[in-house]
Amino acid sequence: MIAFEVKDMTCGHCVSIITRALKATDKDAGVRIDLATKRVHVEPVSADADDIAEAIRDAGYTPVSVATGHGEVAAPERGSCCGHCQ
């Protein structure tokens, strides 16, 4: 399992964009995104961590690698929407 914190992921539209980008990179990957904690969890089939991070960056977001299974992330910062939602 590969996990990233994506602080600039702020809404459901962001989740959709990131999910599509990850599936385009590795169509069979398991993708789980928790908007409340701003975590993206990927169980890759053919991509590696660098490919996944690049897909998130290419979609316009900033992935930060995090360890899986240990520790919690502080409450997400509140901010404005990604600008795509009305």
> Per the confidence metrics, is the pTM higher than 0.85?
no
Q: Report d(CA 25, CA 9) in Å as an integer.
A: 19
pLDDT of residue 83: 58
Statement: residue 82 has pLDDT above 60: yes
Q: Is residue 74 predicted with pLDDT exceeding 70?
A: no
Where would I find the H helices in 1-86? 12-25, 49-58
- CATH match for 2-66 among 3.90.1170.50, 3.30.70.100, 3.40.50.2300, 3.40.640.10: 3.30.70.100
* 64-66: strand order across its sheet: 30-34, 39-43, 2-5, 64-66
Q: What is the pLDDT of residues 46-73, one digit of tens each?
A: 999 999 999 999 999 999 999 866 443 3
What secondary structure, in 3-state letters, does 17-30 show?
HHHHHHHHHCCCCE
pLDDT value at position 67?
A: 85
Helix (H) or strand (E) holding 65: strand 64-66
pLDDT of residue 34: 97
Q: In this model, does residue 75 exceed pLDDT 90?
A: no
